[in-house]
Amino acid sequence: MEQILAQKVIDVKVILSEINENRYNNIFLFLESGILEVSLDSDTDELKIDYHEKNLLKLNESNLKIPNWNSVIIGKKIISFWNTTNASGYSDVYILALNTFKPNFIIYCLANEINIKLFKD
């Protein structure tokens, strides 16, 4: 996943959860050279992190929404990332450091929904 390092976030789109519109089924970070996709494995309640080269991922634009926090991360570079595993072996937290080495964008899975936590610089 090193190809996301030093990439600037150009745009952000999400697919909202059917249960809670403040949570998500998918998050797409459009980067300079591709798309970072965060999705949910509903069987294991884990995050799936995928990188797609530009124009190789076909998205249904009608399902995509612009989150109210998009302006906080657009234009920022990914400096570092952490894909964590909990004590049970599940990957349910993904952390990005944007414009600084300090973690400031946390994506986590809880009750079959994707949640985010942003820390302002």
Rg (CA), the chain: 14
> Of 67, 120, 68, 66, which Cα lies nearest the Cα of 98?
120
pTM, entire model: 0.93
Short-list 6, 34, 31, 28, CA closest to 16:
28
Task: Name residue, tokens 């991360």.
Answer: 73
Note the pLDDT tens digit of each residue in 64-109: 999 999 999 999 999 999 999 999 999 999 999 999 999 999 999 9
**What is the span of the domain harbouring residue 89?**
2-118
Q: Which of 75, 66, 67, 76 is nearest to 96 (CA)?
A: 76
Number of domains in the chain: 1
Across all residues in the chain, what is the average pLDDT?
A: 92
pLDDT at 11 exceeding the cut of 80: yes
Alpha carbons 109 and 78: distance in angstroms, whole number: 21
